[in-house]
Amino acid sequence: MTKVSFGAHPFLLGFDQLERLVERTAKSDAGAYPPYNIEQSSDHTYRITLAVAGFSDADLSITLEDRQLVVRGRQAEDAETRVFLHRGIAGRQFQRAFVLADGVEVTGASTENGLLHIDLNRAVAESVVQTIQIRKG
């Protein structure tokens, strides 16, 4: 039995990039840390919220790499100055990635009460109707 790939379907011309995005998304699973929410606040705006308690703004970085939004967190080591009798708060480094569709732009990011908010906006695509003239051969 031959497996037909999504991008090779005869009715989906030029969608091979979408298949690569789906494969990349499946490979980018980073587990459950840090937990996050994705909410839709209107028809064209979204917000990703990550729980980053214990991370300062300087410990966090947000980059957009080839339509992939990457959030990284790394805390500076201060093991010499602090002695923990119990350490239950996760302070490990992390990387969380989200693949953005074409037309989705990051409009800003902010931290509040241990949460990192990343705001997104999807541009409204214009409906285009084009008439193709037939030439005589």
* Joined tokens for residue 21: 């995005």
pLDDT for position 96: 93
pLDDT for position 127: 84
The per-residue pLDDT for range 47-72, each reduced to its tens digit, is 999 999 889 999 999 999 888 999 99
Q: pTM for the full model? A: 0.71
**Domains identified in the chain and CATH numbers:** 1-30 (no CATH), 31-122 (2.60.40.790)
The per-residue pLDDT for range 15-41, each reduced to its tens digit, is 666 676 666 666 655 578 899 999 999
pLDDT for position 40: 95
pLDDT for position 84: 81
* Burial of 119 per CB tally in 10 Å (0-12, 13-18, 19+): middle
Task: Say how far apart CA 121 and CA 41 lie, in whole Å.
Answer: 10
Task: Give yes or no for residue 134 having a pLDDT over 70.
Answer: yes
pLDDT for position 33: 84
> Which residues are bridge partners to 96 per DSSP?
71
* Per-position DSSP letters for 64-108, written without gaps between them: EETTEEEEEE-PPP-TTT---S---S----EEEEEEPPTTEEEEE
The per-residue pLDDT for range 66-112, each reduced to its tens digit, is 889 999 999 877 656 778 888 777 678 899 999 898 889 999 999 99
